[in-house]
Amino acid sequence: MEYVYAALLLHKLKQNITEDSVKNVVKAAGVTPDDVRVKALVAALGEVNIEEALKAAPVAVAAAAAPAAGGAASSCSWRSPSQRGRKEGRKEGRRSSRGSLITLWLDFF
């Protein structure tokens, strides 16, 4: 994930996402960069409009507050991955964000 965060940081700072810049950010975080991962990430991001991918990325919704003592159960229909089952959660997540930057990063790692 440190490689993805490095790319996001460089994008946020409006810097070019190059192999050297990603390596420098990862080194600054105290991690020895893996040249293969850096090259793969930079190559994959070369074809992605990061700004558009971030706009299209699903946004996590904060969990609803716990009901008051003795209160009614929440009407929220969201189920955690452990409640859905591992395969169902993964399939849904990948299908809903197909083509997004998040999918690229999930496939990368």
Annotation: CATH topology of 2-57+81-108: Arc Repressor Mutant, subunit A (1.10.10)
The structural domains of the chain, with segments of one domain joined by +, span: 2-57+81-108
The residues, any chain, with a CB within 8 Å of residue 24's CB and separated by 6 or more, are: none
Nearest C-alpha neighbor of 18 from the set 33, 39, 35: 39
Main-chain dihedrals φ then ψ at residue 4, nearest 5 degrees: -65, -45
The string of pLDDT tens digits covering residues 24-63 is 999 999 999 999 999 999 999 988 888 888 888 887 665 5
Average pLDDT over residues 74-91: 55
CB neighbours (10 Å) of residue 102?
19
pLDDT at 55: 87
Cβ atoms of 3 and 105 closer than 8 Å: no
Q: How confident is the model at residue 72 (pLDDT cuts 50, 70, 90)?
A: low
**Higher-confidence position of 102 and 8:** 8
What are 66's two structure tokens?
């716990």
